[in-house]
Amino acid sequence: MRIAVAKEIEVCERRVGLVPDIVARLVKQGLEVWIEAGAGERAFFNDAAYEAAGATIIADTDKLWSEADILLKVSPPQEREDGRSEIDLLKEGAVLISFLNPLGNPVVAQKLADRKVTALSIEMIPRTTRAQSMDALSSQASIAGYKAVLIAAAALPKYFPMLTTAAGTIAPAKIFIMGAGVAGLQAIATARRLGSVVEAFDIRPAVKEEVQSLGAKFVEVKLDEETTAAGGYAKEISEASKKRTQELVTEHIKNADVVITTAQVPGKKAPLLVTEDMVKQMKPGSVIVDIAAEQGGNCACTDPGRDIVAHGVTVIGPINLPSSLPVHASQLYAKNLTSLMQLLIKDKAVEINFADDIVDAACITHAGEIRSARVKEALQAISSAVS
Ligand code: NAD
């Protein structure tokens, strides 16, 4: 049974699927681990460290992909420089575990099914207590929340904490965090650690206690509709509710030195929370960090991947924040993947057990079929739009 870790070809991706400590544990279990040469370099894990942990370093990319029983990746597979798709390198029946963005880009799922690959999508792992150790969405979102605050602190032309000095007293910065999921809660905790005054808002009322327990004020917006979907995720809200929330949060945005937006609805474009008119009302020098930039952005002025100044406000739309902390992001991701693999390996062989609710939910393609109803729907929506 061979587990292989591919080198990421996506330019922004610095993370790697396994780290040396975890490799050592897998090798101890009698599993063979192949690491593509240089796979961990951008996360500061060199080939020698993997070799010392018992892995075999493979320089031939095609060999690594085509002889893997389980292939581990971070970013979804893509086209290579030679025009071939990474997916075509996998052998039929191989298992691929990676972020696959199957609701945003379901075409990848179709390609994986055509290649008869058993694909487990990290995004589809249920948010249940048993799946917590495999929940890479959470481990990586937490990094994004932390880093967003550091980026904001670096861009703000002010202190974050209150300071009493001989030259006078500095008032603490006011931070408004929109979306209090995993990233938002870590952003609150980080902003509080830096001494700022924090307010947070979410359409799911269930997060109020968590926000308050971190020492932030919860900005409550009562809506006349259900805002929580299955699995605790947010639902897309009506236009009327969007308008109402925008009205209610405008004052908080106007008074904030920093706004950090993290709001997402799975499989949908990120909701627009900060309009251009709201940006115009903010103080000059204020900062917005839009973690949802890649999903379309929560702010109308966001330009994904760029820092811009709009109406005197610095608007930052970072891409792939977890990758900017590649050591810990890879360490946590590797732990998540290993927990998931424990459900797939029996007596040193792959055994896919669909009676397990986690495997059932995460496995989007198997034996030439797309298994996930949500992915099939997303694919259907694309073909309807084209025809
Ligand atoms: P997410 O990344 O999908 O969204 C981020 C936040 O944006 C969410 O809190 C959401 O409610 C909020 N949001 C969406 N639309 C909004 C709008 N229009 N205005 C304001 N806020 C809006 O969320 P996530 O961090 O992945 O968490 C999703 C759910 O999963 C949460 O309930 C979380 O507590 C739960 N969760 C459970 C476990 C577990 O039980 N093992 C682990 C992690 C997360």
What residues contact 219, with CB distance under 8 A and at least 6 apart? Answer: 176, 199, 200, 201, 248, 249, 252
Helix (H, G, I), strand (E, B) or coil at 152: helix
- Position 221 scores a pLDDT of 84
- Position 226 scores a pLDDT of 87
In angstroms, what is the span from residue 346 Cα to ligand 1's centroid? 34
In angstroms, what is the span from residue 331 Cα to ligand 1's centroid? 23
In terms of DSSP bridges, do strands 2-5 and 70-72 run parallel, antiparallel, or are they unpaired? parallel
d(CA 291, CA 342): 32
Return the residue whose CA atom lies nearest to atom 4 of ligand 1.
264
Return the residue whose CA atom lies nearest to atom 27 of ligand 1.
181
Which of 182, 219, 245, 274 for mutating ligand 1's site (highest number of atoms within 8 Å of CB)? 182
Residue 269: count of CB within 10 angstroms of its CB: 13
- Position 244 scores a pLDDT of 85
CA proximity to 118, closest of 136, 137, 92: 92
- Position 22 scores a pLDDT of 98
- Position 97 scores a pLDDT of 98
| Per-residue tens of pLDDT for the chain, all 387 residues | 999 999 999 999 999 999 999 999 999 999 999 999 999 999 999 999 999 999 999 999 999 999 999 999 999 999 999 999 999 999 999 999 999 999 999 999 999 999 999 999 999 999 999 999 999 999 999 999 999 999 999 999 999 999 999 999 999 999 999 999 999 999 999 999 999 999 999 999 899 999 999 999 999 988 888 888 877 788 888 888 888 888 889 999 999 999 999 998 877 889 999 999 999 999 999 999 999 999 999 999 999 999 999 999 999 999 999 999 999 999 999 999 999 999 999 999 999 999 999 999 999 999 999 999 999 999 999 888 877
347, HSE (Cβ side, Cα atoms, 13 Å)? 1
Predicted TM-score (pTM) of the model is 0.95
Both tokens assigned to 186: 């870590």
In angstroms, what is the span from residue 219 Cα to ligand 1's centroid? 16
d(CA 201, CA 193): 19
Ligand 1 lining (C-beta closer than 6 Å): 127-129, 132, 135, 137-138, 141, 178-184, 202-204, 207, 232-234, 237, 245, 262-266, 271, 273
In angstroms, what is the span from residue 27 Cα to ligand 1's centroid? 36
- Position 284 scores a pLDDT of 97
Dihedral of the alpha carbons of 338, 343, 346, 348, in degrees to the nearest 10 = -20
What is the atom index within ligand 1 of the atom nearest the CA of 141?
25
Return the residue whose CA atom lies nearest to atom 38 of ligand 1.
127
Burial class (CB in 10 A: 0-12, 13-18, 19+), 60: exposed
What residues contact 310, with CB distance under 8 A and at least 6 apart? Answer: 276, 279, 301
**What is the set of active-site residues?**
127, 132, 135, 138, 233
Which of 134, 204, 275 for mutating ligand 1's site (highest number of atoms within 8 Å of CB)? 204
In angstroms, what is the span from residue 249 Cα to ligand 1's centroid? 18
Return the residue whose CA atom lies nearest to atom 11 of ligand 1.
234
Q: Which amino acid is at 339?
A: S
Q: Which amino acid is at 303?
A: D
Handedness of CA 237, 238, 243, 245 (dihedral sign): negative
Please count the helices (runs of H) and the strands (runs of E) in the chain: 12, 19
In angstroms, what is the span from residue 123 Cα to ligand 1's centroid? 13
In angstroms, what is the span from residue 232 Cα to ligand 1's centroid? 7
Which of 140, 143, 146, 202 for mutating ligand 1's site (highest number of atoms within 8 Å of CB)? 202
What is the atom index within ligand 1 of the atom nearest the CA of 138?
43
Return the residue whose CA atom lies nearest to atom 8 of ligand 1.
181
- Position 279 scores a pLDDT of 98
Return the residue whose CA atom lies nearest to atom 18 of ligand 1.
271
Helix (H, G, I), strand (E, B) or coil at 177: strand
What residues contact 4, with CB distance under 8 A and at least 6 apart? Answer: 33, 34, 35, 36, 58, 64, 65, 67, 68, 70, 71, 72
